[in-house]
Amino acid sequence: MRNGIRLLALVGVLALAGCASIPSSGGVKEGAAITSNNQDFTLDYIPAGPAKDASQSDILHGFVEAASSPQGDYATARKYLTPKLQATWNPDESVTVDQGSGRDYSELASAGWQLSVRPVADIDATGAYRESEASTPVTLRYQFVKNSAGQWRISTAPNGVVIDLSTFKTVFSSRTLYFYNPNFTSLVPDLRWFPARVSTPTRIVKALLAGPAKWLGQGAVATAFPQGTQLTVDSVPAPNGRAEVDLNDAAAAADQVTLERMKYQLQRSLLDGASVGGVDVLIDGAKQPIPDLSGGNLPVSDPQVDPRPLVQYASEFGFASGNSIAMLPGLSTKIAALHPKSVTVSAAQDAAAVLAETGVFAVNGASETATRVDARPGLIAPALDVYGYTWSVPGGQPGALMATSNDGVQTAVATNWTGADSIISLSVSRDGTRVIALLRTGSVTTFVAAAVIRGEGNVPTRLGQPLELSIGAGTPVSATWVDQLTVAMLGTSASGETTVTTQQIGGVSQQISGPAGGKTIVGAAGSPAYWVLTAAGSVQAVSGTGWQERVGKVTVLATQLGAPR
């Protein structure tokens, strides 16, 4: 029991025939209707209201605890407020997540109180989650008055709620919204957090219509919904488990393909996590007969890579398969001849970006020889994107980022890495809409993601404002995309011990011990989620609670952007 809050287990099992997971390709398949008995298993906090003759301290403590429960639009928490504040207090404006311990309540003059907390994360009004690396406390102030019954109530309070991490994981759940790349050929995930089982379809649709997270919404992604599209009413009902999304007349301007893309965005965003079993789109109350998106209009979602590690082994480059190397036709011989230090290979396995002793090279299966595209000194491992651009940058000049097209045209890519004096790692997402990078400013290393803004011909022209990610333990040495939403970072200590920190962008980070001497990490096919190359030339993967060698005597562990479709 926590100050009158009791934990109630709501027994339920998610039973969705045909909707156990969302496939990475193909159309959306709607499952059976979700009945009132088909609820996600979750836990509710049932808070107590204010006690009679409670002190200001008791009222403030009770209010903070009661705000852990979003049920009934935070109905119990509002009981601690004056009627005027009840009508204006907005708990959805922000969520400050702390560890729960170390909260400092202090009384001020004139019926005032102050609460100081050290946040570990915060969530904004759109549900975007950001972990906090700083330990600086956040101070919140409250004022009290007595009501007509002589009971203390809070008359002034900041919008938003404070919640400890363990409770947050219970009463909030992550949901993935989906947008498109500007060409509508790929789906781009955008993770958000909403109160569990509290008008979830409504919150998802409203967030989707509001657009992508701020760091993504700078031209890197697109939405199918015409400008001005909103819900006609502030609700998304789901009778018989099918969401009815009633849009205003702004949606009527959409052509047939756009309507299908709108429906697909709703399906993927609502069905991923099984809020509903199906989606119906209405415009001004009239149900629209919209076919499912199909054929060439269907976007790629979370492209998968070959499950085998792609390596340089002795004088051969290719997939490690048993005791042999399966070479890539048109690529392997050219790559191996460069004596590579790093390699990234395209999804079609017909092109590669290679770092060699004399610079960065573009290797194309259709060309006779590799082409040097950047000879500047101090280059780090290059990146390759889905449009064939090779990204290169010197380690000591993080702002000197360059992208080179297949035909050799070079473009300077503007960055927003103000203050960074070196760059350790750079990688482009498999859909080409985002980058991750390890940057160093003095002795401080940061791990960031940024949107890729492109011009005509898909040429990358600039990066958006960086989103800081969790840095994990140790000195960062390598970072990679695990999938379209998850990234991983490898850190090492002076003793050779390593850690692997994984994080869904917009989600909670996790950390495990890595293999001794780890130096490079690359995304894999899911099982394992990633490979790590050690200084001894051993490619290792997580096995149970430890690490197991999969192939030895490797000099380069390559990054894959996908696999041939």
Is residue 328 scored above 70 in pLDDT?
Answer: yes
Asked if 491 and 479 count as a contact pair (C-beta separation under 8 A), the reply is: no
Instruction: Give the pLDDT mean for 237-262.
Output: 95
Asked if 77 and 63 count as a contact pair (C-beta separation under 8 A), the reply is: yes
Is residue 302 scored above 60 in pLDDT?
Answer: yes
Same domain flag for 437 and 528: yes
Last residue of a domain, one of 146, 170, 194: 170
Give the integer Cα–Cα distance in Å for 52 and 60. 14
* CB-based contacts of 442, cutoff 8 Å, min separation 6: 421
Q: What tokens appear for 486 in the block?
A: 């998850």
Same domain flag for 216 and 243: yes
Provide the pLDDT for residue 4. Answer: 40
Is residue 19 scored above 70 in pLDDT?
Answer: no
Same domain flag for 155 and 194: no
Provide the pLDDT for residue 44. Answer: 60
Same domain flag for 90 and 137: yes
Highest mean pLDDT, choosing among 23-37, 184-198, 287-301: 287-301
Asked if 547 and 515 count as a contact pair (C-beta separation under 8 A), the reply is: yes
37 occurs within a structural domain: no
Same domain flag for 117 and 186: no
Q: Indicate the pTM of the whole model.
A: 0.88
Provide the pLDDT for residue 548. Answer: 96
Pairing of strands 104-108, 112-117: antiparallel
Last residue of a domain, one of 272, 297, 322: 297
DSSP secondary structure, 23-56, as one string: -SSS---------TT----EEEEE---PPTT--H
pLDDT tens, 199-219?
Answer: 789 999 999 999 999 999 888
pLDDT tens, 56-109?
Answer: 999 999 999 999 999 889 999 999 999 999 999 999 999 999 999 889 999 998
36 occurs within a structural domain: no
Last residue of a domain, one of 170, 200, 227: 170
Dump strand ranges (E) for 147-267: 152-156, 161-164, 172-180, 187-195, 242-247
pLDDT tens, 435-478?
Answer: 999 999 999 999 999 999 999 999 999 999 999 999 888 999 99
Same domain flag for 317 and 281: no
Same domain flag for 121 and 243: no
Is residue 38 scored above 60 in pLDDT?
Answer: no
* CB-based contacts of 489, cutoff 8 Å, min separation 6: 438, 447, 469, 471, 472, 476, 478, 479, 500, 501, 502, 521
pLDDT > 90 in the chain, percent = 81
Residue 90 belongs to domain spanning: 47-170
Provide the number of structural domains found in the chain. 3
